[in-house]
Structure formats: structure tokens, C-alpha cells
Structure 1
Amino acid sequence: MAMLIPTEDETMLRDAARGFLDDAAPVANLRANRDQGRAFDPDLWAEMVKMGWAGVLVGEDEGGSDMGFAAANILAEEMGRTLVASPFLSSAVIAASALRAAGRPAGAIASGDVTYALAVDEGPKFAPAATAMQASADGNGFRLSGTKTFVGEGTSATRILVLAKAEAGLTLFDLEADRVGLTRDKLDLVDSRDHAALTFDNVQATGEDVVGEVGQGLAALAPALRAGHAALAAELTGLSAGAFGITAAYLKERRQFGRRIGSFQALQHRAAHLWCEIEVSASTILNAGRVLDATPDEADLAVSLAKARATETANLAVREGVQMHGGIGMTDEYDMGFYMKRARVAAEWLGDYGYHAAVVARARGMAA
């Protein structure tokens, strides 16, 4: 149990992040993004870059802060509390992990000069191994043809990590987002974030664009997915805490029958149960970060457990939040609806509960 106690440095990072985000990125910032039709607040992202957040997983020799996975999870969790939209997950966590593991430079991520999107999904469910998009041989290079959907930061990213099927097997490519033949179409999902469908029409790629080895795309992608699963789980846990916070505040203010509804025992029991679930999920996030920092190649169980647990907790948190707010919980005037919408989208991205529960079951010898 001692390992699940945050260190002094982790506590300081969390406090600093929360203080900054509460002031600079309340939920009103997400509303502004939606109303202005922007993917994220560029000024907010610039501040995050200055604080070293974009380089949290980039080596110091490249200008990164190299704080590690546990620190990345702390930042993601605090962003989840106020529903911060930014390239953090796709660029600072997923792309930086993939590039670093493959020995490719990632300093441009730390400096904020580039942002990345991950193009993996092709159908309604997360299934990297079933990738069908073709990378046909073309001289010494390739021609990429096919479609990807549910691409986070898909319209705003300046570079794309894309998984395609070459003759030698699945291969991961790193391409400029404006490469000839690549079309990006915005998807209007309920969480008011930047998602896109990408179409590749004979997009040219060279050997220099390959991340890792040709035919070893899943191996090259594995470090990125492990980091992404953990950070997204952290965001969902922060989202749960944020939803619980505004719900608890509402219970203390709303009056019925001459009493604050927070004094009703049935609601107290439900709130207490939710708080306990959030605390347990937070422990799985801390554990996932510690395992990733210590033995990243052995972190599949820890990160899938965290994603599955955080998904279920977030679902409970937003359902309870909406119900305890009553009918106003789903109105646009109140923030709770934004938490519910983001929880639904994040639950599906990078694998839903069923996907990660299956990973946990196999790791524990409970499934074939």
C-alpha cells in the first residue's frame, strides 16, 4: 500500500497543475472552444508548453522535462477535472512515447512546434491488429490507401501517426498532416472535441517515415498505446472527481421541503459510494504510472485495469451527477452534461470497457 501514496514531488505537481487549470481552464473554456469552433485554446496550450507539460515524456537532451508516466497521468487527471481540451494526450503522451521508444526525435513535441494525431481505428471498435488500410509497395517506398475514423485531434494536428498493412505486416508511419492525398473530415461528436475521419488516397510514404521496423507496427505502437491507455484512464478519473465535486456542491445548496437535499440519507449513501469508487480508481491510475515508469514492457495489465476501472467509475459519476441534479443536469446551462458527454466518448477511445476487461482476464488466466 505504501507505493500507492503520492510522493512529495507528485503532490507538488498535482497542486501546481490544479491551481493553474482551475484559473486558466475552467469548463467555460470548453464552452468557448465549442462556440468558436476551435479544436482547443491555442493560448492555453502555449502556456502548457512553457510549463514543460508538452515535454513530460521527452528527454531533457531534446528540451523535454522528462517527468515520467506517473507525472503524465497526474497532469491528465487534473485536465479531466475541468474537461480541458488540448493536444496533450495525442501528442505529449501517445506520440512522444512512440517516437522515443523507436529512437526518433521528439523535441518538436516538447517545444510545441508540432502536434500529433493517432490514426488507428477503422471500425466501430478499437482493434489495431485488424487494421486493413493498405501500404502498397511503391519502389523503395509505399502508397497508403484507406480510411481511419475516430482520430483524436484529427483536424488540428500537424502530423499523423498511422497504422497500415504492408506486405511484411502492419507498419507504423509518421506523416505530415498536409501530405498530398490525405483528406481530413471533422466528426461532430457529443463531447465538443476535435475528432476526424481521415482518407488516404495513394499517399506517398518513404522508408524514413516508418516508425520502428517495417512489419513491426504493433510493436512500435505498443509503448504509445500503453501510455495512452493510462493517461486516458487518468483523465476519466479526474473527470469523475470533477463531476463529483460539482454534484456535492449542488447537494449542499439545493433545497427541497425546507431542507438541503444533501441532508437526505439516501443521497448521502450514494455520494459516499461514488467517492469510494473514485478513490479506488485513483489508486489504479497511480499504480499504472508507477509500473510504466519501472517496467513499461510489463504494464499491459496495469494500464488495462486502470482504463476499465476508470471507464466504469466515470459512467457511475456522470449518471449520479445528472440524476442528483434532476432535470437541469442535462441542460446546456449546467456543466454536468459536458462531463457525461466526454465520459461517453472517452470510454470508447483506445478501447472500451469490454476490450480492456478482456486484456485483464487474459493476463490473469481467466480467458482464452
Structure 2
Amino acid sequence: MFDWFLTYFELILGIAGAVSLIGIAMGFLRITLTRPSRSRWRVLGGIALLSLVCFLAVLRGGPGGKKTTPQELDPDRLIDTSLTAVERLQNPWEAYEDPRWPVVETLAEISDIAYDPPVFAAGRYEGLGLSRCFPLFDRSMVGYVLAIDDVAVVVFRGTDFNEWSDWGVNKAVRAAPTEHGGIHAGFDRAYDGLSPQINEVLDRLAPKHLWVTGHSLGGALATVCAYRLESRGEHKVTGLITFGQPMVAKLDLAEHLDDLFDNRYAWFVNGSDVVPKTPPGYEPAGSLVELNGTLRPGRWRRTRAVYSSSSVDDSLPAQPLQAHPLPPLTEEESRLLQQRLKAEPPPVFDDAPRAYSMAVPEIDNHLMPAYLGSIRQLLGISMRGD
């Protein structure tokens, strides 16, 4: 409650500070023209003090007044990573609790496998216990519906640098209208060709636990998919978890996604990955988990409270974080990044479209294997070969 009060108190101070600065400027001009009285000096001194407090409050908020809060994790908490992939997918979870959910590793592996050729991907999915695999294809868009018992996972492959149509999807940054606000037209249109296939499979499966996931472009498609399934009443989504996902929604739709999924949407950002800061003009949604290699991952939520401890207890103080978690790229920064990428043609792969390994640090952190490694580090899982 105190943090909520402090946030709004700082807003009031900011407004008062702006008025104060104007008052000081006007007062200074008046003082230079008239003899200053003792009472006037007292008033100006009080205004100057208020302005100083406002300035310090702005500094407290960090660059641009934006705040992020590290979430304290309990180092003694035991994370049960011995559960099978199917057991993880059946377990309940909360998007704003301690982010060390074992299911995240499973969904990261599923998203990584999606880059394999379908003939190999099906075998690897079966190795995770997901014995039913339904490939999804539409032009260069690729995805899968995976299932076993009462569980289903919809996963989308990220950008294939060898498919120029994938680049076309990423570059189509204009917004298309929906009943809840603007949506990225390229991502929305790319999902259209996969939607009938997904609904047909899910109608047959009628899963009790339905997860939607993906990396990069796949994460954007996953967000569109979950939004369509829920808002149209087609299927209830248990969890939407994405990795290195670009932003999909304009502000109105982003706020709607927060309400629609509430505690069921988390997006992971690895280090200095630049993709989640794009495209300019769009807004994030859901629970942000910034992977930074420590037991203090950054956490963000648009308007609701995030507990500052891994323990969920109503008596604990909560901090509402309302600023944008990651400063989005400007149009100029986005243009310069595209120039850097164009200057280094992506390598051609014989077996899988994993062309994210470039001499651009912001893109290297975007690699799905980098995400998988960071997630395993967060969970305390020793690295192993895949």
C-alpha cells in the first residue's frame, strides 16, 4: 500500500515541480525588477525545496522515470525438476509468482525443437512424452499441435532467415483493427493460414490443459493464437509463455490482453535481446521475466502488483509497476539495427533455420539456445546436450 501511495505521490510532486519551476522563473524576473521582501524570499525558498524533492523523485525512477523491480527469489526453495514434461504441463502455475516454473524449461525445449525439420521434430517431441504430433504449415509459417492424454501444446517456429516471406511478416508493422484495439498486421495475417488447422485439431482433442508457446516470430504468433482462441470462445488457454517475443499489440489491445489472460501470460527476455523492444509504437503485455543470470530476475506488470518475494502472502508489500519495462527502440534505432543486419547476410543452414547466430550481440542473446541455457540456470539445472 505504501509503494502504491509513493508512486502516485511522486506523480503529484512531478506536476507540482513543473509549476514550481515556472513560478521560480517568473519570481526571479519579478525580483530583478522590484525590491525583494523577506516573505517573498521565504516563498521562493519553499518552492525551490519542493522542486529539489521533485527532482530527486525523478532520479529515483531511473532513466526516463521508468522503473523495474528485481524479484527476490528464495534461494532455499526446492524446485522439483524431476517431473516429466507431461506432469509439468499438468501442474497449476501463476504468472506473477516465483518464475522458476519447471514447465518453462519444457516449453523452451518445445520452442527450440520447432526449428528442426518436421521429420526430426516429431521424434524429439515424442522423446518428451508428447506422442501425438500434428504439423501445421502455411507458406513459410510452421507450427505444431502436440498432445498426450489431456494435454495439448500449440507451438510456432520463429523466423527462418532463409525464408524471405518470414522477413515480410516481421516488417509489416502497420496495425490492423480488432474489437479490442490495434494488432500487428503482419503477425495477425500470418496466423490466418494456420488458424483453421489449429482449431480443427483442438476441436478433436478437447484438451483440459492447453499451452501456447513460441520463440521470436513464433512468440508473436503464439500471442495472436491465444488471443484468438480466448476472445472468440474457441478454447481456454492454460498458459501463454513466449521467449524473445516482439510486441504485438497497441496500447488498448495490450491492456485487454492483461485482463484477458490475467495470471496466465508470461514473456521471457534474455539479457540484451533487442527483439522484445520492437517494433516501435507497440506495447508489451503480460508478466515480464528478465533473465539476467542471477536470483533476482527483473519483473514487470503494467498496472497490478508484483510481490517482492517468492512467497505469496497478502501481508507482504506489493509494488505496482506501471512504466514500460524495456525502453522500446525508436524509429531511428530500428532503422540502424536493420542496416546492421543487412550488412551481415545470414548463413544458409542445411538442416535447420537457426540463423540467429550473428556478430550482433543484441541478436546473439536472442538465440533460442541462449534462452534455454538462461532458463536452466534460473532453475538450477545443469547444462546438458540436446
Larger radius of gyration: 2
Please report the TM-score for the alignment, with normalisation by the length of structure 1. Answer: 0.28
Q: In proportion to residue count, which structure has more helix?
A: 1
